[in-house]
């Protein structure tokens, strides 16, 4: 049943991908043909966030200390390592795959089921990979920007990736007593923990002149950087815009320098 | 003989291509000295909050080209506004920009700005890389885009490096301002109203001792 819903999600996303129009030619523009609809979902998500998520996240921060929140975050991150591992393999990164497998083995055992991040103290680096990134590494373009209800910013490629990552997660197939309750708790705690970690960032976002546009651009740029594994672009200054069109009021000095 | 000549030419070309692109030391020094002055001005002892603000704004006016930034962030509308509209907008933007810079630079006041490198896009356009260590020990990578106009250096944009993603503040602001203008049929009043409301919000958020 669970697999069927995953498959449906993936197929829906793939169908959407098949109708992807071409990307905007501008280097930093985000292709958002469904902007009207996306803005409505964004407003809905923001309403839910302000009414429920933000207060819960702030409450969670108030009743827990940093080590506890760190332990929760470590535990959730560790549960996701099989998905990360699958994606490192698919991206052809054996070093990252070995790191991820090692982290999972060490943290699941010595790290008390992932609560302690022992692997980091042993200098085994953490990798963050998902199937959206894998598709990006394979050269699949973003496709149109999408705001998903409750889930937030995405694009067609990452929505497909999201569905595939659910399908990759062995926990979604594991059968044990209380498995459904465990999965639901994991999702709820995961959302609260993730929201708590961005309390300040969301406040900065809300201070922006146009938060929808700001988030759309930030999401797209951050995903591109994640696909590059956090490396800067080869020539990060190549596409910078020209300021010469915006009158500097010192034409004479400028001309004299050119001579 | 021919082979030797080709080898020399190839080596020379390779050397030129591989040479690191450094902005001249004057540009780097310009950023180092001024960025430090700006951050120091927010921490100047013996001055009242108003005096500190005045000093900060004087440095910012010298360090940056606020009018060029203001025009850049409205993109195509820079040529569409009437003179009166432009004048009103430039004043509104200037007030906002100074409050924003003060608000965010305040977190780094009194900290040391260290130049770590630079790149010339061309003879008049350079990027200077710096690191600023915050009071809490967090290290921030900041890039300054400096234009040389007739021997006068001025900063027109600043980028923060977030996990490999360079976020250029003026470019991001342009995307947002253009969206506001597009939604309001290019109305300068609508944009000014939005900017003023953001300025007021930032002033309201100022710590009590610096208001």
Are the Cβ atoms of B156 and A250 closer than 8 angstroms? no
**8-state DSSP, A24:** P
Give the C-alpha separation, A162 to A173, whole Å. 16
Which chain A residue's Cα is nearest to B183? A210
pLDDT at B8: 52
Which chain B residue's Cα is nearest to A233? B164
B108 vs A135, residue with greater confidence: A135
Q: Which candidate in A248, A252, A255, A259 is best for mutational testing of the B interface (most B CBs within 10 A)?
A: A248
- Check whether B9 has a pLDDT greater than 90: no
Using CB atoms, pick whichever of B148, B175, B180 lies closest to residue A217: B175
Using CB atoms, pick whichever of B150, B163, B176 lies closest to residue A209: B176
Q: Which residues contact A34 (CB under 8 A, 6 or more apart)?
A: A144, A145, A146
Are the Cβ atoms of B68 and A248 closer than 8 angstroms? yes
Give the C-alpha separation, B178 to B158, whole Å. 19
B95 vs B134, residue with greater confidence: B95
- Check whether A249 has a pLDDT greater than 80: no
Let me know: does A57 contact A197? Beta carbons within 8 Å.
Answer: no
Using the Cβ of A222 and the Cβ atoms of chain B, whether some distance falls under 8 Å is answered with: yes
pLDDT at A132: 97
Task: Decide the pairing of beta strands A145-148 and B113-122.
Answer: unpaired
Using the Cβ of B172 and the Cβ atoms of chain A, whether some distance falls under 8 Å is answered with: yes
Residue A69 pLDDT class (50, 70, 90 cuts): very high
Greatest CA span in chain A, whole angstroms? 81
**Percentage of chain A surpassing pLDDT 90?**
70
Q: Which candidate in B149, B152, B157, B178 is best for mutational testing of the A interface (most A CBs within 10 A)?
A: B149
Rg of chain B on CA atoms, in Å: 21
- Check whether A131 has a pLDDT greater than 70: yes
Instruction: Indicate the SS3 state at residue A193.
Output: helix
B138 vs A240, residue with greater confidence: A240
Let me know: does A159 contact A42? Beta carbons within 8 Å.
Answer: no
DSSP bridge pairs for B168: B159
Q: Which of residues 187-216 of A touch B (CB under 8 A)?
A: 207-210, 212-214
Mean pLDDT, range A86-96, rounded to an integer: 96
In chain A, alpha helices (H) = 2-18, 35-48, 54-63, 66-79, 81-90, 94-109, 118-121, 131-137, 156-168, 179-197, 199-206, 211-227, 251-258
CA distance B172 to chain A (A): 7
Residue A81 pLDDT class (50, 70, 90 cuts): very high
Give the C-alpha separation, B154 to B152, whole Å. 7
Give the C-alpha separation, A150 to B98, whole Å. 36
Using CB atoms, pick whichever of B68, B149, B176 lies closest to residue A208: B176
Mean pLDDT, range A191-202, rounded to an integer: 95
Using the Cβ of A36 and the Cβ atoms of chain B, whether some distance falls under 8 Å is answered with: no
CA distance A81 to chain B (A): 20
CA distance A236 to chain B (A): 8
Output the average pLDDT for chain B.
84
Q: Which of residues 145-184 of A touch B (CB under 8 A)?
A: none
Residue A27 pLDDT class (50, 70, 90 cuts): low
Task: Write out chain A residues lying below 8 Å of B67, CB-based.
Answer: 247, 249
Which chain B residue's Cα is nearest to A253? B150
Task: State pLDDT tens for residues B29-57.
Answer: 999 988 888 888 887 778 888 888 888 88
Task: Write out chain B residues lying below 8 Å of A254, CB-based.
Answer: 149-150
A254 vs A95, residue with greater confidence: A95
pLDDT at A243: 82
Its pTM stands at 0.82
CB atoms within 10 A of CB B147: 21
CA distance B163 to chain A (A): 5
Using the Cβ of A35 and the Cβ atoms of chain B, whether some distance falls under 8 Å is answered with: no
Mean pLDDT, range A190-203, rounded to an integer: 94
pLDDT at A57: 97
Give the C-alpha separation, B34 to B60, whole Å. 9
pLDDT at A54: 97
- Check whether B2 has a pLDDT greater than 80: no
Regarding an ipTM greater than 0.90, the answer is no
Residue A166 to residues A4, A184, B155, Cα–Cα distance (Å)? 11, 14, 46
CA distance B68 to chain A (A): 6
- Check whether B160 has a pLDDT greater than 60: yes
pLDDT at A20: 34
- A140-161 as b/e: b if 16+ CB within 10 A: bebbbbbbeeeeebbbbbbbbb
Going along A75-140, which residue ranges are E strands?
Answer: none
pLDDT at A6: 38
Residue B20 pLDDT class (50, 70, 90 cuts): very low
B20 vs A31, residue with greater confidence: A31
Task: Decide the pairing of beta strands B125-133 and A145-148.
Answer: unpaired
pLDDT at A155: 97
- Check whether A225 has a pLDDT greater than 60: yes
Task: Write out chain A residues lying below 8 Å of B171, CB-based.
Answer: 28, 240-241
Instruction: Indicate the SS3 state at residue A21.
Output: coil
Are the Cβ atoms of A241 and B72 closer than 8 angstroms? yes
Q: Which of residues 26-45 of B touch A (CB under 8 A)?
A: none
- Check whether B206 has a pLDDT greater than 90: no
CA distance A219 to chain B (A): 10
Please state which of the ranges B50-59, B83-92, B152-161 shows the lowest mean pLDDT: B50-59
Most confident of A150-159, B114-123, B159-168: A150-159
Residues, chain A = 259
Using the Cβ of A241 and the Cβ atoms of chain B, whether some distance falls under 8 Å is answered with: yes
Torsion sign (Cα): B75, B77, B82, B87: negative
Are the Cβ atoms of A254 and B149 closer than 8 angstroms? yes
Q: Which candidate in A240, A244, A251 is best for mutational testing of the B interface (most B CBs within 10 A)?
A: A240
**Percentage of chain A surpassing pLDDT 70?**
85
Find the angle CA(B14)-CA(B17)-CA(B21) to the nearest 5 degrees: 145
């Amino acid at each position: 049943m669970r697999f069927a819903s995953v498959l449906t999600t993936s197929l829906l996303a793939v169908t959407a991908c098949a109708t992807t129009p071409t990307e905007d030619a501008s280097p930093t523009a985000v292709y958002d043909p469904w902007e009207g609809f996306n803005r409505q979902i964004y407003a809905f998500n923001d309403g839910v966030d302000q009414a429920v998520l933000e207060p819960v996240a702030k409450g969670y921060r108030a009743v827990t200390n940093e080590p506890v929140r760190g332990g929760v975050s470590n535990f959730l991150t560790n549960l996701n390592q099989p998905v990360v591992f699958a994606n490192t393999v698919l991206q052809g990164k054996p070093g990252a795959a070995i790191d991820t497998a090692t982290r999972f083995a060490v943290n699941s055992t010595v790290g008390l089921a992932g609560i302690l991040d022992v692997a980091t103290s042993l200098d085994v680096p953490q990798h963050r990979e998902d199937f959206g990134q894998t598709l990006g590494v394979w050269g699949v373009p973003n496709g149109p920007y999408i705001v998903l209800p409750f889930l937030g910013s995405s694009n067609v490629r990452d929505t497909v990736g999201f569905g595939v990552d659910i399908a990759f997660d062995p926990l979604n197939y594991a059968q044990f007593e209380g498995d459904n309750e465990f999965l639901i708790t994991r999702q709820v705690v995961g959302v609260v923990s993730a929201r708590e970690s961005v309390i300040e960032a969301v406040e900065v976002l809300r201070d922006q002149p146009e938060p929808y546009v700001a988030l759309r651009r930030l999401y797209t740029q951050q995903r591109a950087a994640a696909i590059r594994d956090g490396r800067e672009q080869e020539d990060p200054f190549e596409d910078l815009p020209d300021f010469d069109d915006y009158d500097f009021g010192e034409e004479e000095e400028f001309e004299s320098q050119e001579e | 003989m021919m082979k030797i000549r080709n080898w020399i030419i190839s080596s020379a070309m390779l050397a030129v291509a591989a040479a690191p692109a450094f902005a001249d030391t004057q540009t780097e020094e310009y950023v180092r000295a001024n960025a430090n002055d700006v951050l120091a001005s927010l921490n100047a002892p013996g001055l009242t909050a108003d005096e500190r603000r005045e000093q900060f704004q004087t440095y910012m006016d010298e360090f940056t080209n606020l009018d060029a930034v203001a025009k850049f962030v409205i993109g195509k509308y820079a040529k569409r506004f009437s003179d009166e509209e432009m004048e009103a907008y430039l004043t509104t933007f200037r007030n906002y920009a100074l409050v924003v810079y003060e608000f965010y630079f305040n977190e780094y006041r009194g900290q040391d700005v260290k130049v770590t490198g630079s790149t010339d896009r061309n003879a008049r356009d350079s990027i200077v890389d710096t690191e600023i260590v915050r009071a809490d020990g967090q290290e921030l990578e900041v890039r300054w885009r400096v234009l040389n106009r007739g021997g006068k250096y001025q900063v027109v944009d600043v980028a923060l490096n977030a996990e490999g993603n360079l976020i250029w503040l003026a470019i991001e602001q342009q995307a947002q301002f253009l969206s506001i203008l597009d939604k309001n049929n290019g109305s300068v009043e609508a944009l000014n109203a939005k900017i003023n409301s953001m300025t007021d919000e930032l002033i309201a958020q100022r710590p009590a001792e610096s208001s």
